Amino acid sequence: MMTQDLIAQLSQQPAARPMRPGRYGAVLVLAALLPLLGFWGIMGLRPGLLQMLAQPVVALKTALPLFCAGWSLFAVIRFTRPGARLPLWPLILPLLVGIGLIVYGVAPASGSAQWTPFYISECVGLIIVLAALPIVVAVHVFSQGASTRPGASAALSGLAASSLAASGYSLYCTQDNPLFFVIWYGIAIGVSTALSWGIGRSRFSW
């Protein structure tokens, strides 16, 4: 086939529909909500949830990963466009809050945490499982964009998905010691983000 014939054939094919940022965000949030709704339906929410959320530390257990999810979702949408730059300064706030919570968690007044293998594996394992579906969906959808950094885009997709999963799981979790939830939620989010990065690097290595 001559080059001119190939160009003519390609020009006659319908153009691929560009990915809309709003669609990406809606799909990722929906994919994160589906497993969470199933989890809440089976396991329920923690007793006295509204009263517990009135406590600042308990509220931060939900709000901190939710903030990370919002930032990473914004970031990965930006990365769907070629040459996009990413501001990192918004991460200073959750980093400082996380450090402050760890320091507070060491104090006896923060309450005890159950550092048993069961509770640790339950926390980390459930967050990773809840993040699996939105990670797969997110990596698939962002591939329709034009990111020049597929590994970073996939990692941000994993960060958004796992942060949403952690925020939703926190409504069930009764471990309110900041030392527990900052460390183990963070590890679960980190593992999910690394797995998503690996998928992006292996599947979209352009």
Can you give the pTM of this predicted structure? Answer: 0.82
The C-alpha atoms of residue 56 and residue 62 are separated, in whole angstroms, by 10
Contact assessment for residue 159 and residue 74, using Cβ atoms and an 8 Å cutoff: no
Q: What is the pLDDT of residues 155-183, one digit of tens each?
A: 888 999 999 999 999 999 999 988 889 99
Domain ranges of the chain: 19-203
Alpha-carbon span 83 to 146, nearest angstrom: 9
Q: What whole-number percentage of the chain has pLDDT above 90?
A: 41
For every residue of the chain, DSSP letters joined together read: --HHHHHHHHHHSPPPPPPPHHHHHHHHHHHHHHHHHHHHHHH-PPTTHHHHHTSHHHHHHHHHHHHHHHHHHHHHHHTTSTT-----GGGHHHHHHHHHHHHHHHSGGG------HHHHHHHHHHHHHHHHHHHHHHHHHHTTS--S-HHHHHHHHHHHHHHHHHHHHTTT-----HHHHHHHHHHHHHHHHHHHHHHHHHH---
The pLDDT of 43-65, averaged and rounded, is 95
- For every residue of 96-110, which 3-state class applies, written as one string? HHHHHHHHHHHCHHH
Rounded average pLDDT over 188-199 = 92
- Yes or no: say if 167 and 94 are a contact pair by the CB < 8 Å rule: no
Handedness of CA 67, 120, 49, 112 (dihedral sign): negative
pLDDT at 205: 55
- The whole-number pLDDT of residue 172 equals 96
Euclidean distance between the first and the last CA atom of the chain, given in angstroms as a whole number: 26
Q: What is the pLDDT of residues 11-41, one digit of tens each?
A: 554 544 555 666 777 888 899 999 999 999 9
Give the pLDDT score at 36.
Answer: 97
Handedness of CA 107, 105, 60, 97 (dihedral sign): positive
What confidence score (pLDDT) does residue 193 get? 94
| Euclidean distance between CA atoms 38 and 109, whole angstroms | 35
Query: Looking at residue 23, what is its pLDDT?
Result: 75
